[in-house]
Amino acid sequence: MNRNSLVARTALLSGLVVLAGCSKEIDFSLPATFNVNSAGTPATYNYVQQIDLAAQAPDAWSHKDKVKDLSLVDVEGTVLSMFTPATTGSGTVALRPDGVTNNLSDVTLGTYTNKPISNGASIVITLVPAALTIVNDALQGNGKFQVVASGSTAAAANFTVQVTLHMKLNYKII
């Protein structure tokens, strides 16, 4: 083996070692839309929406085997349309494993208290980081989990709300 060949191989191996430690980050959002129609004073509601990472976040899903870190940036709730007079509400957004039909495995993602519910109103929900376990489990499994929105309004309410999880996935490039 000549000296030039040895230098080239050493440089190639050094480059591979450096690349092995490199990572890349993907930002993605997972929206879940709920049509809330609750009667009574106060009115209560509980709705479940399935999330499919393969369909809703294909870039993140394609790197599921190389995950270094997953983080939840924030959770935002936005009233898309309001069909009754504006009111106020309090509630919880939780994550639930795929296939579970009761709240025994729910992990609270965040809460909101006495927030205005009117057309176009938007809130950022206080986060509970432990909820990431549900998303991590979905990444390692079939890619599915559920978002649960439950709460109460001061008066009867009929509105459409979109809950969006804004996330970052850090993955190894080699």
Q: Sketch the domain layout of the chain as residue ranges.
A: 22-172
Identify the CA nearest to 130 among candidates 109, 156, 104, 144.
109
Domain 22-172 maps to which CATH number in 1.10.3470, 2.60.120, 1.25.10, 3.30.70? 2.60.120
Q: Residue 100 corresponds to which tokens in the numbers above?
A: 């579970």
The span from the CA of 141 to the CA of 156, in Å, is 39
Could you tell me which residue, 19 or 169, shows the higher pLDDT? 169
pLDDT given for residue 5 in this prediction: 57
159 Cβ contact partners less than 8 Å away, ≥ 6 residues apart: 35, 36, 79, 80, 81, 82, 83, 84, 117, 119
Cis-peptide, bond into residue 85, ω within 30° of zero = no
What mean pLDDT value characterizes the chain? Answer: 86
Answer yes or no: are the C-beta atoms of 59 and 139 closer than 8 Å.
no
Residue 12 has pLDDT above 60, yes or no: no
Helix (H, G, I), strand (E, B) or coil at 13: helix
Global pTM value: 0.82
What residue ranges in 6-139 does DSSP mark as E strands? Answer: 23-38, 43-52, 67-82, 87-97, 107-117, 122-127
Residue 18 has pLDDT above 80, yes or no: no
Mean pLDDT of 157-166: 93
Answer yes or no: are the C-beta atoms of 138 and 145 closer than 8 Å.
yes
Identify the CA nearest to 64 among candidates 144, 153, 146, 150.
144
